Amino acid sequence: MIKKFSNKTAVVTGGTRGIGKAISLRLAQQGARVFALYGRNRKTAEEFSIQAKENNLDIVAIRGDLTKEANFKSVIDELSSKTDAIDILVHSAASGVHKESYELSERHMKWTFDINVFAIHNLIRELCIRMSPGSKIVGITSSGGTRVIPYYAAVGASKGAMESLFRHYAAELAPKGINVNMVCPGLVLTDAVDAFPDKEERLDKVLKATPSGKLCTPEDVASVVEFLCSAESAQIVGQTIVIDGGKTLSS
């Protein structure tokens, strides 16, 4: 059986944990060679690499904080030493400070934007020149980019900026045959949810407002990313695919 991403090379930011890990696994299961980038948690990345090897998946974990110039360069140099072309780039890495707006300092905002906006902007600039017609770029965003979520001002603002950036990239890269799209999941149960000070209340509220009665899983997100990275998505350009069990159907 021919796998849809055989002979393809993928780069996934935040690719060793949570949503990014599910995406790395899915792309590798479909035959891609995956470079899973991560910034800090070496132990988790090493455990993930062992898991991938045990399942005969071609996944290479690369450590490097993309917000630091020296680290960014080392990641690019390592990618360059291991591959000449990039077929798929998925931006799943995200972080931020969860406070009310008036509590956010300039440092808080800069930290959040460095990770969620500037890191992927710089990565696309570096890698798009190695992407040929048929290549795909997918960003993971959230409803906080367009809606108010408690304690989410910094991350929401950065997601809104990322979405605008991706729309411009979509228009500019489409003539080169490179598709750029976004996936907007509902609340996904990952380690990131633990950062919210009102976690339990939020989970209960979201579940009650979701017609499907189920929260989105990392595997749900990976399924949509898999489709957007496939040849079947050729005419989907600059779109945001929402997967939230119908939560946003109601105001």
Please give the positions annotated as active site: 152, 159
SS (H, E, C) the chain: CCCCCCCCEEEEECCCCHHHHHHHHHHHHCCCEEEEEECCCHHHHHHHHHHHHHCCCCEEEEECCCCCHHHHHHHHHHHHHHCCCCCEEEECCCCCCCCCHHHCCHHHHHHHHHHHHHHHHHHHHHHHHHCCCCCEEEEECCHHHCCCCCCCHHHHHHHHHHHHHHHHHHHHHHHHCCEEEEEEECCECCHHHHHCCCHHHHHHHHHHCCCCCCCECHHHHHHHHHHHCCHHHCCCCCCEEEECCCHHHCC
**Tokens representing 228?**
């957007």
Closest C-alpha to 144, from 196, 108, 107, 220: 196
What phi and psi values does residue 97 have, to the nearest 5 degrees? Answer: -100, 125
